[in-house]
Amino acid sequence: MSRLATTSNETQQRFNPFAMAQAQLDAAAEVLQLEPSIHALLREPLREMQVSLPVRMDDGSMRIFKGFRVQYNDARGPTKGGLRFHPDETIDLVRALAAWMTWKCAVVDLPLGGAKGGIVCNPRELSPGELERLSRAYVRQVGRILGAEVDVPAPDMYTNAQVMAWMLDEFSVLQGHNEFGMITGKPLALGGSKVREEATARGGMYCLREAARVLGLKTEGTAMAIQGFGNAGQHAALLGQELLGVVVVAVSDSRGGIYAPEGLDPRKVIAHKRTAGSVIGFPGAQSISNEDLLRLDVDILVPAALENTINAHNAPEVKARISAELANGPTTPEADEILHAKGVYVIPDFLCNAGGVTVSYFEMVQNAYSYYWDDKTVKARLDAKMTAAFHEVHELATRLGVHNRLAAYCVAVQRVAEAVRLRGWA
Helix (H) or strand (E) holding 71: strand 62-73
Domain boundaries, the chain: 47-190
Confidence of residue 14 (pLDDT cuts 50, 70, 90): low
In order of 5, 199, 206, 245, the CA distances from 242 in angstroms are 31, 15, 12, 6
Cβ neighbors of 311 (< 8 A, separation 6 or more) are 6, 7, 11, 331, 332, 334, 335
Mean pLDDT along residues 228-235: 95
pLDDT of the residue at 318: 97
pLDDT of the residue at 308: 85
User: What values do phi and psi take at 80, rounded to 5?
Assistant: -145, 135
Spell out the alpha helix ranges (H) of 117-259. Answer: 128-142, 161-175, 199-215, 231-239
pTM, two decimals, is 0.92
- What single DSSP character describes residue 296? S
Give yes or no for a contact between 193 and 359, defined as CB atoms under 8 angstroms apart: yes
pLDDT of the residue at 115: 98
* Residue pLDDT, tens place only, 91-141: 999 999 999 999 999 999 999 999 999 999 999 999 999 999 999 999 999
- DSSP letters, 182-198, are G--S--GGGT--TTGGG
Q: Is 80 a catalytic residue?
A: no
What's the CATH superfamily of 47-190?
A: Leucine Dehydrogenase, chain A, domain 1 (3.40.50.10860)
Q: Out of 116, 186, 273, 379, which one is annotated catalytic?
A: 116
Per-residue buried b or exposed e for 366-393, using 16+ beta carbons within 10 Å of the residue's own CB = bbeeeebbeeeebbebbbebbeebbebb
Instruction: Out of 229-243, 244-258, 302-316, pick the least confident.
Output: 302-316
Where are the strands (E) in 189-331, listed by range? 223-227, 247-253, 256-259, 286-288, 300-303, 322-324
In order of 21, 151, 237, 358, 406, the CA distances from 47 in angstroms are 17, 12, 38, 23, 26
